[in-house]
Amino acid sequence: MPETAYYSHLARRPRVGTLRKLVWIELEHFHGWSCSECAWVFNASGALSGHSLNEMIENYKRQRDEEFAAHICAARLRPELIKV
């Protein structure tokens, strides 16, 4: 008798690769990190924390990367005026 493979409901769903990237943008009113596919921009919350400059930089990058990974592009449509 052949073995039966069992998959969770998530494994049966087709996987769609995300094409979005974290990009640096420079506009008249904003210089910073943005999503290449929507209007999400990174705004650091509060002052940088850490015991050294390197730790502050790592904390900033970690917060930026976590917020970028968590955002949903469909919730933030990119205005046609913003070109990246």
- At 4, the amino acid letter reads T
pLDDT, average across residues 6-14: 48
Is the confidence at residue 12, as pLDDT, over 80? no
pLDDT at 30: 87
pLDDT at 81: 43
Per residue in 23-73, pLDDT (tens digit) is 999 989 889 999 998 889 999 888 888 899 999 999 999 999 999 999 988
Distance CA 65, CA 68 (A): 5
pLDDT at 18: 60
**Burial of 56: CB neighbours in 10 Å, binned 0-12, 13-18, 19+:** middle
pLDDT at 25: 93
**Other residues' Cβ atoms within 10 Å of the Cβ of residue 16:** 6
pLDDT at 19: 85
Distance CA 3, CA 15 (A): 25
Distance CA 29, CA 50 (A): 28
